[in-house]
Amino acid sequence: MNYEGKALTIAGSDSGGGAGIQADLKTFAAFNVYGMSAVTSVTAQNTMGVSAIYDISPDIVGKQIEAVMEDIGVDAAKTGMLFNSSIIRVVGDKIEKYGVERLVVDPVMVAKSGSRLLEAQARATLIEELFPLAYIVTPNVFEAEIISGISVKSVKEAEKAAILIYGKGPGNVLVKGGHLSTPKAIDILFDGSECYYYESERIDTENTHGTGCTLSAAITAGLAKGWDIRQAIGVAKDYVTRAIREAPSDIGKGHGALYHNLKPASINSQA
């Protein structure tokens, strides 16, 4: 059996293995997609938090992307932690140069521990220069509030935020509702004309480190396999829910990692 697609993650490294490029590559492997990486920052990180960040030079970030594109190519790509404006701009330049159409932008701003993963002055660069290149952006509730400029406390407000974010240029917007006070975890997709809803059970656990990275990576993997956006999100949502449910309890003392070694559902089962 061969790989069913090729996917690139452009993101930060998590030394604890639960988020960032490590989570992305584990997820790509679970989806039988060939995974590649361009490291944007190196973090000293574990389940308790981020203790140090070292940014890779924008030139080296760009050369990593070029090395992948010139030889192997990609069917889909995703961005995660892009700490400063210089890194964001070089990523945008390479995405445009190589005509990457299926780009998933996870607007990583703050770690679950509260550590800042995007410079405040780089927010405008991310929104103005990278969002228009994105096939889909995947903010959580807190990121959606920052990007849209409105409070997001309900599903209706999440819908409004998705529509406002769509106006900033991406092809689709998925507002992740894990932090909403709803009985089920509801994510809202706006595709420019209609909202779609993805529900899952809420699981009582502290082991949720890397859920955002994993979801966006799973969507990227689905797109790399040629699925449409709704199919990719449906399978990704199911995969992340099961990865949380099966999360090991013996990894770290804080927000533990997910269990990535799961077989994704088929797109037929999500119809």
pLDDT of res. 270: 59
pLDDT of res. 179: 73
pLDDT of res. 258: 96
Q: Which residues of the chain have pLDDT under 70?
A: 1, 110-116, 269-271
Rounded to whole angstroms, the Cα distance separating 67 from 39 reads: 13
pLDDT digits (tens, 9 = 90+) for 76-114: 999 999 999 999 999 999 999 999 999 999 998 866 655
pLDDT of res. 267: 81
Q: Return the structure tokens found at 248.
A: 């090991």
Active-site residue (options: 178, 212, 234, 252): 212
177 close to 154: Cβ distance less than 8 angstroms: no
Residue 212 annotated among the catalytic residues of the structure: yes
pLDDT of res. 73: 98
Residue 94 annotated among the catalytic residues of the structure: no
Residue 208 annotated among the catalytic residues of the structure: yes
Reported CATH class of domain 6-139+209-263: alpha beta
Residues for the chain: how many in total?
Answer: 271
The pTM of this model reads 0.96
E strands of the chain, at which residues? 6-14, 34-46, 49-55, 76-79, 103-105, 136-137, 173-175, 185-190, 195-200
Active-site residue (options: 40, 138, 211, 214): 211
pLDDT of res. 271: 47
Residue 49 annotated among the catalytic residues of the structure: no
Residue 176 annotated among the catalytic residues of the structure: yes
Residue 138 annotated among the catalytic residues of the structure: no
Active-site residue (options: 40, 43, 79, 208): 208
